[in-house]
Amino acid sequence: MTGRPRDPAVDDAIRQAALSLITEQGYRGVSMEGIAARSGVSKQAVYRRYPSKGEVILDVLAVYARTRLPTPDTGDLREDLLALLEATFAGQRGVPGALNQALAAEALQDPAFAERVSRELIAARRQAVRQILTRARERGQLAHPDDDLLVDLVFGPMWYALLFAPGRLTDAYAAALADAVIAVGTHAG
């Protein structure tokens, strides 16, 4: 029933190989074959762990982004939003940006995978923003009733930029976006 346990070194080698392939060559350059070759691992070992390229990327992202979303709590909505947006955008400028792009590419090709990503990854990120909003609402700083819309206003432009203009994700943009969200939030809706 037990069998030989999986070698954690193999896990690491696979993730490391996938990560370096994505950063070096982008999503195009990633293949199950290539990951196996680069990591010095058999294809079987990869397929045993992940049914598809997307799952590899998802896992790499999960491990890589252990630097948790901060969910700052300064007592001020603007401060909180700004901190989260700057942190998030900063991340997207580097390797995680490439990972998220790869993720999106995979999701666009496989609705089931998109659903999975939505539930496991996207939801967590949304929750972080929603928490900030909830606290602001409790302090009476928020009039707009639809948190979902406000969250969309945060992440929508981010993904838009990842798709067509990754360079746009600057601190200044984070500030402008934070102000915009607050402008909407302080209205009654």
Partner DNA sequence: CCTTAATCGAGACGGTACGTCCTGTCTTGTT
Partner DNA sequence: AACAAGACAGGACGTACCGTCTCGATTAAGG
List contacts with its own copies (CB under 8 A). 26-28, 101-102, 104-105, 107-111, 114, 117-118, 122, 146, 149, 152-153, 155-161, 163-165, 176-177, 179-180, 183-184, 187, 189
- As given in the structure block, the two tokens for residue 123 are 């939801």
185's enclosing H/E stretch is: helix 171-186
The entry of DNA, its own copies, none that residue 2 binds, CB within 5 to 8 Å by partner kind: DNA
The entry of its own copies, DNA, none that residue 47 binds, CB within 5 to 8 Å by partner kind: DNA
Min CB(2)–DNA separation in Å: 4
CA dist 37 and 39 (Å) reads 5
- Give the single-character DSSP code of 4: S
Q: Which of 20, 23, 32, 153 is in the footprint of DNA by CB under 7 A?
A: 32
Return the range that interacts with DNA (CB under 7 A); candidates 4-12, 82-90, 137-145, 171-179.
4-12
The answer to the question of residue 114 lying near DNA (CB under 7 A) is no
- Give the single-character DSSP code of 75: S
Closest to its own copies by CB, 11 or 110: 110
The entry of DNA, its own copies, none that residue 107 binds, CB within 5 to 8 Å by partner kind: its own copies
The answer to the question of residue 4 lying near DNA (CB under 7 A) is yes
The answer to the question of residue 12 lying near DNA (CB under 7 A) is no
- Give the single-character DSSP code of 52: S
Residue 132 to residues 35, 71, 76, 86: CA-CA distances in angstroms?
39, 7, 9, 14
C-beta contacts of 12-16 below 8 A and 24+ residues apart: 13/39, 13/40, 13/41, 14/39, 14/41, 14/45, 14/46, 14/49, 14/50, 14/56, 15/56, 15/59, 15/60, 15/63
The one-letter code for the residue type at 162 is L
Min CB(81)–its own copies separation in Å: 14
Residues near DNA (CB under 7 A) are 1-7, 10, 13, 31-34, 40-45, 47-48, 52-53
